[in-house]
């Protein structure tokens, strides 16, 4: 796994834009959630066949169960939530002659409860594992953890009491937080049970990622990523329609470019001041323009467009610098492209497609505010010509990528999304792409599946799109998803982009788009 670090990046800071981001900041909604059940690890539907099943212990009798050294209990809050956990703890038996040493694990999915016990070999920091070790010197007391967790399950594991007393628990409570409430939303009805379920879980996934900003995942990294923001905003327009939250995020990105005008792939917003990360992704940077475009189309908010167009323009200027002499994007190590977690396919044609995609949106935005876009229109034409001349293989009817002219599904999808081909050709290309590549081997994220599904809809392959959504997002539901995941590879259910099923995020915003797709492309 490669981590970018930029030692001497000079960031600008536009206080006026930051202030506007702050002005639309709103307090979160709170909801008290009570535990629903006591459960136990067993075999059943779930990742690696791990599921949680009702225990013989009944929640109503919770405070009858005394736990000593090595004992544990798993509480099920009935659904995925993001927020704060508290529980009453008392000692029973002799007076408390030692502290209580308690280990707590918070899990979105049952598999985390199993994997967290194994030695951690993940590529991301172990600190993201949702666990705490707590000593309590004085019982009875209410343990109120001050950190935020994303979970459905809470495991309470008594490391030790003493031989003379045990503990009992009462009133396990979760204070769930979100910028929005599910009950305020009329979810689109598809007339299909599975699709309706996918819509509902999409809405829950999005809700739990909508906090002070749009987070990528509330378990981890809890960060405002541009690639995720773009998709969250679209899903949000189709559901909660929280204008301010998108606006806030756009202003934050627009306020903090590098001195050359490049926009960071992500921001840290949990500190006293928002901090731009030193990770730059070619596609994510351009998605600032796409997100602004989608936002303007949704709200026709001319003031915001005028405020942020200059930032969009500087970003586009930076992106255009990466065109080579042939008017194709040449990705360099100082500005890699994401597309998908999978890295077993060439991404250079995708890069040119994403530039095309954003450039068209950029020109359209410029025209709205009467900017002279002639020069950009010219560039667009040149790129389109280069793509058709150099990347489109007329014989096979597929786009090729890289020096070895490889054909992969991502290139077709992104080119379809640019609509560089006619609608008929697009239709045919996606149909043949599915025949050739499905089931996909190297695609690992719902993020890329979103783009495949979108390309299917955009190319008028409605049935194929619906089938893909049912199969892919439905596949997660079959495995017991309460919210959709960061990574899901149907041909490898033990897949983690970070070499650890314990660290995977099981509520990840970029997987929430079916609610948007099924509304936008509804027949």
Residues forming contacts to a second copy in the complex (CB under 8 A) are: 1, 3, 5-6, 69, 93-101, 123-128, 132-133, 135, 137-138, 147, 159-164, 220-221, 223, 268, 270-271, 275-278
Q: Between residues 12 and 278, which has the closer beta carbon with respect to a second copy?
A: 278
- Min dist CB 454 to a second copy, Å, is 29
- Min dist CB 511 to a second copy, Å, is 21
Number of helices (H) and strands (E), helices first, in the chain? 14, 14
Backbone angles phi, psi at 155, to 5 degrees: -100, 130
- Min dist CB 232 to a second copy, Å, is 19
CA distances from residue 85 to 145, 160, 175 in whole angstroms, order as listed: 6, 21, 6
How far apart are the C-alpha atoms of 227 and 216, rounded to whole Å? 9
CA distances from residue 104 to 73, 157, 162, 259 in whole angstroms, order as listed: 10, 6, 18, 44
- Min dist CB 84 to a second copy, Å, is 13
Q: Which residues contact 80 (CB under 8 A, 6 or more apart)?
A: 108, 150, 151, 152, 204, 208, 482, 483, 506, 507
Q: Between residues 123 and 522, which has the closer beta carbon with respect to a second copy?
A: 123
- Angle 446-458/462-478 helices, nearest 10 degrees? 160
Q: Between residues 212 and 346, which has the closer beta carbon with respect to a second copy?
A: 212
Q: Between residues 46 and 285, which has the closer beta carbon with respect to a second copy?
A: 285
- Min dist CB 95 to a second copy, Å, is 5
Q: Between residues 142 and 302, which has the closer beta carbon with respect to a second copy?
A: 142
- Min dist CB 102 to a second copy, Å, is 9
Partners of 174 in the beta sheet? 33, 85
Q: Between residues 264 and 290, which has the closer beta carbon with respect to a second copy?
A: 264
- Min dist CB 234 to a second copy, Å, is 26
Q: Between residues 5 and 404, which has the closer beta carbon with respect to a second copy?
A: 5
Provide the 3-class DSSP secondary structure of residue 267: strand
- Consecutive H or E run containing 364: helix 348-368
Reading the block at residue 147, the tokens are 């950190």
How many beta carbons lie within 10 A of that of residue 279, not counting itself?
Answer: 16
- What per-residue string of b and e applies to 206-235 under the rule 16 or more CB within 10 Å gives b? bbbbbbbbbbbbbbbbbbbbbbbbbbbbbb
Q: Between residues 1 and 522, which has the closer beta carbon with respect to a second copy?
A: 1
- Min dist CB 267 to a second copy, Å, is 9
Partners of 150 in the beta sheet? 82
Task: Confirm if 24 and 298 have CB atoms less than 8 A apart.
Answer: no
Reading the block at residue 255, the tokens are 């306020």
Reading the block at residue 224, the tokens are 């405002």
Reading the block at residue 430, the tokens are 């996606």
Q: Between residues 161 and 291, which has the closer beta carbon with respect to a second copy?
A: 161
Provide the 3-class DSSP secondary structure of residue 487: coil
- Min dist CB 145 to a second copy, Å, is 10
């Amino acid at each position: 796994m490669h981590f970018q670090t930029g030692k001497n990046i000079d960031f600008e800071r536009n206080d006026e834009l930051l202030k506007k981001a702050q002005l639309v900041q709103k307090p979160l909604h709170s909801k008290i959630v009570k535990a629903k059940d006591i459960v136990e690890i067993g075999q059943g539907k779930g990742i690696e066949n791990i599921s949680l099943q009702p225990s013989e212990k009944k929640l109503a009798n919770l405070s009858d169960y005394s736990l000593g050294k090595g004992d544990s209990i798993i509480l099920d809050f009935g659904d995925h939530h993001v927020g704060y956990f508290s529980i009453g703890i008392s000692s029973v038996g002799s007076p408390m002659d030692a502290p209580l040493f308690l280990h707590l694990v918070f899990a979105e999915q049952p598999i985390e409860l199993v994997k967290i016990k194994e030695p951690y070999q993940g590529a991301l920091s172990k600190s993201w594992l949702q666990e705490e070790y707590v000593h309590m010197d004085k019982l009875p007391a209410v343990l109120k953890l001050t950190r935020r967790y994303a979970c459905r399950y809470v495991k309470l594991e008594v490391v030790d009491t003493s031989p003379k007393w045990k503990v009992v628990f009462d009133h396990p409570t979760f204070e769930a937080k979100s910028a929005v409430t599910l009950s305020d939303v009329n979810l689109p009805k598809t007339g299909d049970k599975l699709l309706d379920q996918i819509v509902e879980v999409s809405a829950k996934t999005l809700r739990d990622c909508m906090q002070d900003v749009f987070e990528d995942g509330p378990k981890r990294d809890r960060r405002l990523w541009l690639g995720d923001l773009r998709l969250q905003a679209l899903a949000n327009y189709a559901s909660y329609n929280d204008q301010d939250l998108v606006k806030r995020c756009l202003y934050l990105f627009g306020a903090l470019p590098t001195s050359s005008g490049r926009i960071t792939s992500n921001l840290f917003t949990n500190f006293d001041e928002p901090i731009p990360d030193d990770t730059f992704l070619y596609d994510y940077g351009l998605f600032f323009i796409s997100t602004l475009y989608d936002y303007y189309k949704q709200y026709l908010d001319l003031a915001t467009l005028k405020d942020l167009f200059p930032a969009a323009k500087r970003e586009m200027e930076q992106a255009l610098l990466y065109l080579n002499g042939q008017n194709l994007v040449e990705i360099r190590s100082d500005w890699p492209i994401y597309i998908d977690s999978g890295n077993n396919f060439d991404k250079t044609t995708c890069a040119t497609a994403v530039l095309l995609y954003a450039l068209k949106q950029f020109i359209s935005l410029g025209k709205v505010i009467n900017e002279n876009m002639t020069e950009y229109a010219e560039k667009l034409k040149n790129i389109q010509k280069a793509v058709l001349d150099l990347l489109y293989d007329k014989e096979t009817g597929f786009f090729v990528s890289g020096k070895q002219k490889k054909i992969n599904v991502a290139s077709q999808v992104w080119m379809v999304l640019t609509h560089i081909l006619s609608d008929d050709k697009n239709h045919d290309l996606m149909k043949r792409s599915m025949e050739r590549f499905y089931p996909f081997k190297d695609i690992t994220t719902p993020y890329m599946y979103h783009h495949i599904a979108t390309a299917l809809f955009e190319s008028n392959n409605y049935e194929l799109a619906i089938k893909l959504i049912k199969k892919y997002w439905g596949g997660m539901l079959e495995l017991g998803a309460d919210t959709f995941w960061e990574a899901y590879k149907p041909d490898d259910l033990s897949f983690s982009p970070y070499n650890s099923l314990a660290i995977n995020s099981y509520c990840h915003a970029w997987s929430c788009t079916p609610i948007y797709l099924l509304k936008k492309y509804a027949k």
